[in-house]
Amino acid sequence: MSVGTVYFGDNLPVLREMADESVALIYIDPPFNTGKVQARTQISTVRSLRGDRTGFKGRRYETRKLGTKAFHDFFDDYLAFLEPRLIEAYRVLRANGTLYFHIDYREVHYCKVLLDQIFGRESFLNEIIWAYDYGARTKKKWPPKHDNILVYVKDSSDYVFNVDEIERIPYMAPGLVGREKAANGKLPTDTWWHTIVSPTGKEKTGYPTQKPIGIIKRIITASSNRNDVVMDFFAGSGTVGQVAYRLGRRFILVDDNEEALRVMAHRFSNVDDVEFVGFDPRPFKAPASQRGLFSATADGGVA
């Protein structure tokens, strides 16, 4: 098996062709059914006396639009769309496998009822709250600044959770716990404070709804082992594949948006042993001089 496989197309037929209990960890971030077109525009700025932005020390900068990536996020019957895919996800998970289901506040309650029916309520492990503080704030209600990640295991008495490998975080009040504890940090709880992908940071691919490497790294580290197969069948920009590769896991990615495949082709430019199915990645790979910008690196460093 190659280090990774990327499929272009509907994820349901791909899932139905997969063997039973063949995947150790599934993370999915399905469309949130917002009823909107999700889009992100990439820009660059250059110094200009007639620029439209003001930067450090009052210097003027001109904004240049590089391109826009988008997809439609609307389903007439969201749960009917998800159900057959989640049934297949349960089937392909190993006996000690784990599902991380990433959704937002609009749909999480309905999705949990559906997942309880498929996995069983006893297999519900956690609801992780990913809290962030970025973007516009409504003045008509409490501004929603979190996503929900539902965690289900196939067997509540036997699953992978590598507690000693999870990167520890600083105490909020280190003076209250003593010097040694403060130096070691603490285990994250089920509430994760982590910024979104910065629109101007090195991590960005320009794909809408791209998730941060830090969030995905914590999930894959905790709930899988080296050489395990990790799957994301709503792959988007391919962050799960990138992090899985860095951590010594194999991966399977699926997406039906051609723009997502283009981003992934560019992102995996440095990785020779990634198979693309139904899509030719060659026109979209980064030139040799630019490789490393979005590509995966085996040592885990930021590319």
Mean pLDDT calculated for residue range 35-40: 43
Residue 299 has pLDDT above 70, yes or no: no
In whole angstroms, what is the distance from residue 86 CA to residue 107 CA? 15
pLDDT digits (tens, 9 = 90+) for 256-277: 999 999 999 999 999 989 999 9
pLDDT tens per residue, range 202-245: 888 878 778 999 999 999 999 999 999 999 999 999 999 999 99
Q: How far apart are CA 146 and CA 279, in angstroms?
A: 34
Supply φ then ψ for residue 168, to 5 degrees.
-80, 160
Find the helix packing angle between 213-223 and 239-246, rounded to 10°.
Answer: 50
Confidence of residue 60 (pLDDT cuts 50, 70, 90): low
What residue type is assigned to position 36 of the chain? Answer: K
Give me 291's structure tokens.
């490789």
The answer to whether 8 and 280 are in contact (CB under 8 A) is: no
Distance (Å) of CA 254 to CA 15, 45, 283? 9, 34, 19
Q: What is the pLDDT of residue 65?
A: 47
Show the DSSP H helices in the chain as ranges. 11-17, 78-92, 108-119, 179-184, 213-223, 239-246, 258-267
**Is residue 41 over pLDDT 60?**
no
CA dihedral 211, 217, 220, 222 (to 10 degrees): -130
Tell me which DSSP letter residue 271 carries: -
Average pLDDT over residues 25-50: 62
Segments of the chain assigned to CATH 3.40.50.150? 4-35+74-290
Residue 184 token pair: 């070691």
User: Where is average pLDDT lowest: 30-39, 57-66, 218-227?
Assistant: 57-66
Provide the b/e sequence for 227-240 (b: ≥16 CB within 10 Å).
ebbbbbbbbbbbbb
- 251 with 1: CB under 8 angstroms? no
Rounded CA gap, 184 and 188, in Å? Answer: 12
Give residue 141's identity as a one-letter amino acid code. K
Kindly report, residue by residue over 110-129, the tens digit of the pLDDT.
999 999 999 999 999 999 99
Closest CA to 7 of 17, 100, 270, 213: 17
CA distance 252 to 275: 10
In the chain, the percentage of residues whose pLDDT exceeds 90 is: 67
Confidence bin at 48 (pLDDT 50/70/90): low
Could you tell me the pLDDT band of residue 88, with boundaries at 50, 70 and 90?
very high
CATH architecture, range 4-35+74-290: 3-Layer(aba) Sandwich (3.40)
The values of phi and psi at residue 289, to 5°, are -70, -20
Hey, how many other C-beta atoms are within 10 angstroms of the C-beta on 172? 9
